[in-house]
Chain A
Amino acid sequence: MSQVDESGLSGQTPAEKPRHKPSRAPRTPMPERAAAVRRSDFEEVAFGYSAEQAQAEANRCLQCKNPTCEQGCPVNIRIKDFIAAIIDGEWTDGVEILKERNALPAVCGRVCPQEEQCEASCVLAKKGEPVAIGRLERFLGDHDLTCDLEHRCTPQIAEPSGKRCAVVGSGPAGLACAGELARLGHSVTVMESLHAPGGVLSYGIPEFRLPKAIVAAEIEMLEVMGVTIECDQVIGRIATVEDLMTEEGYDAVFIGSGAGLPVFLGIPGENLNGVYSANEFLTRVNLMRAYEFPTSDTPVWRGRKVAVVGGGNVAMDAARTALRLGAEEVFLAYRRTAEEMPARKEEVHHAIEEGVEFKMLCSPVEIRGRDGWVTGLVANRMELGEPDESGRRAPVCVMDADFEIECDTVISAVGTRANPLLHDAAPDLELNRRGYIVTDENGATNLPGVFAGGDIVTGAATVILAMGAGKKAAAGMHRWLTDA
């Protein structure tokens, strides 16, 4: 099935191809559902490019001799070549080029912060609009998913090595690591504590941004490659990492358990009814499908006026989910300004279109309540001062407890930390000051045969970085398994 090694494009020299004349057309807009319609259901916001739109957009690419976009990609996808494949209408070739470096293009095309990565480094970005690399990636990823399982692009699997690997956690880091280990011929079992695999892709990122059918299809592919996925397995409780390597006979273990522990604001009123961590709110809605309640069994409190605290992707997802659950007003309270928000630009734009009201320079100090339920969020008015160590201008308070936002729900999306169960899973594992696993450049931890990657090493980051780390650790594990 696979043609990875005889990939048509990479072997071709530019001289054999007809000269590419870049189009001067403006960036091809993404077809999307109207904000007024989509804000009341959970279906996907963007339709994706048609073949014509994808080719029109690909034609804008200059096919630079030195493609700077590729340096902007954390896993150095051969962007120039996959775009050339789209120009030529060679979808399968394009998919293969993508999958050399990125096992989940349909996911990354939707959720990567392209505007800070590849698209920021596109030569066209200097003068105008960069090539819509993310949308093109999604186009190819989706094309692959529309094929029958046997026609989808699967990597060639090496001869069985006889080695067994355990992967703890089925988020992007674990999935990428498992896929790569399977490709290298190792037998792989992924152990996931929840009842469904995917990590944040399943429980965190909402259906309207990343349909769960896409996550499921990508995971199905791994199973076709021979990866076994066992859900309901909480490592640290059902077995320790040491148990896996001794009693259960695994030769190497990868830990990709994410940074799942929610951080609360630490202000009065935080345990009132109607206060959620974004993790709880999104897990109820996405993983437990509370938006289908009572057809599904898990309820979620549907607030009328919802205040979300934070400025990242998690905050945007929570705010837009609250709208879809029927909130009349959704406020987003952030202590800096829209400029400093770490969320993807597209999500900020979509949130504004859908009617989320941004309250900038606003730092919550108290949640007020009556009879055990939330009635309002009190905040300090801030202004931007000198840059802090992150280089962003630090918010400083100008007015104490300046105003109160009337609301019946508060969702705190101010970050996550390492899950404490990790300590039970491997008490001797070296952790850093913040509780994350310490690894070397190959993803190896201080314990022999135990590797790690993703948010549990870096702290909350991105899907593509977690996947890159999983893949790198798989290479490290492969060396460790074959040298030993």
Chain B
Amino acid sequence: MFRIVHTRQISDAVFEMGVEAPRIARKAKAGQFLMVRVAEGGERIPLTFSDWSAEEDWIRFIYMRVGKTTHQLSHLSVGDELADVVGPLGTPTHVEGVGRVAVIGGGVGAAVAYPVARAMSAAGARVTVILGARNAELLVLEDELRALPGVTVNVVTDDGSAGEKGLVTAPLKRLCEAGALDHAFAVGPAIMMKFCAATTAEFGVPTTVSLNPIMVDGTGMCGACRVTIGDQIRFGCVDGPDFDGHLVNWEELMSRQRVYVDDERVADADYQRECSCHK
């Protein structure tokens, strides 16, 4: 069992949780993730490290409440326990020698963008963060990102309720046009990553994307997370989650993410009903 040592509500649907996990905290690196199972009978879901402390024995992750498991997480408090926390999984993000880099975080992708931007700036990169969300309400981690040394933050919202109105690809394109980028790193909804990669491809800017295929074990033994990169099948959980954005088969990824939408709706509706019964 893993004891919860920190919880924080960041916005209406976005939360941060800290868990005591000394062995994991000692090995965590930016871009890696955890598999979390809330309780017996629960699903294993992947969540990226947002922060960790080897000295204080904890790890943290930021999650958006989207379905049953993330709802369950949001109902827990400090002192409660999670059944299982497994990690660090996946290959760490390459942060050394990226030069002038744009880190694009869309929606809850900001949770991944934050530790990556922090690690890249610590490794000497010049980081421009492009933070995107549908509206100001859904914008997360802006203050934390602005507090990072030497990191510039651009905010973009679909409705213009904060920062620039539009999509993250607009400031990304301007940076490319200005010849101000050696590298781009994008994380968020697949469709956003697809368009970021399409934008940078035109300018030949190498682009890493952090993919989010559906996972089961997260250790390479099932193949649920397989993605097509160029002409090869790769496993998101061990070969990734970072891949060359210019080689990803996006249509396939987006299609595979939708396999269980009906089931997910059933599970979440059942859970909501159960919760309201107990109130």
Contact = CB atoms under 8 A, between A and B. Distances in A.
A420 B220 contact: yes
Contact of B223 (A279, A294, A296, A420): A279
Given A238-B27, A271-B256, A419 B86 contact: no
Interface string A181-205: 0000000000001110000000000
Contact of B270 (A283, A294, A372): A294
A480 interface: no
Contacts of A301: 259-260
Contacts of B256: 271, 273, 372
A293 interface: yes
A232 B233 contact: no
A295 B228 CA distance: 33
A446 to B, nearest CB: 24
Given A193-B217, A280-B223, A299-B263, 9 more contacts: A193-B219, A195-B83, A232-B86, A262-B222, A288-B43, A294-B263, A297-B43, A297-B69, A419-B220
A298 B43 contact: yes
A273 B251 CA distance: 12
Contacts of B84: 195, 231-232
A252 B222 CA distance: 30
B87 A238 contact: yes
Contacts of A296: 41-42
Contacts, number: 108
Smallest CB-CB A-B distances: 3 pairs:
A299-B263, A260-B221, A280-B222
Contacts of A273: 255-256, 258-259
Contacts of A234: 86-87, 89, 219
A280 B260 CA distance: 14
Interface string A229-256: 0011110011100000000000000000
B44 A232 contact: no
Contacts of A420: 220, 238
B37 A261 contact: no
A284 interface: yes
Interface-centre pick from B41, B42, B256, B264 (highest chain A CB count, 10 A): B41
A195 B1 CA distance: 11
Interface in B27-70: 27, 37, 41-44, 68-69
Contact of A271 (B252, B260, B266): B252
Given A237-B88, A271-B256, A273-B255, A264 B37 contact: no
A149 interface: no
A185 B61 CA distance: 41
Contacts of B233: 264, 270-271
A372 B255 contact: yes
Contacts of A135: none
B24 interface: yes
Given A232-B85, A234-B86, A234-B89, A293 B259 contact: no
Interface string A252-290: 000000001110100000110110010110011000110
Given A262-B222, A280-B216, A297-B267, A195 B86 contact: yes
Contacts of A193: 86, 217, 219
B216 A298 contact: yes
Contacts of A35: none
Contacts of A352: none
B255 A237 contact: no
Given A232-B84, A234-B219, A283-B221, A297 B27 contact: no
A421 interface: yes
Contact of B88 (A238, A277, A299): A238
A323 B259 CA distance: 20
A370 B42 CA distance: 32
B23 interface: yes
A297 B220 CA distance: 21
A274 B222 CA distance: 14
A238 B238 contact: no
B267 A280 contact: no
Interface in A288-331: 288-289, 292-299, 301
B214 to A, nearest CB: 10
Given A264-B223, A277-B223, A297-B41, A283 B216 contact: yes
Given A273-B259, A297-B69, A421 B220 contact: yes
A262 B267 contact: no
Contacts of B24: 238
Contact of B68 (A264, A280, A297, A421): A297
Given A237-B89, A271-B233, A297-B42, A261 B221 contact: yes
Interface in B244-279: 249, 252, 255-256, 258-260, 263-264, 266-267, 270
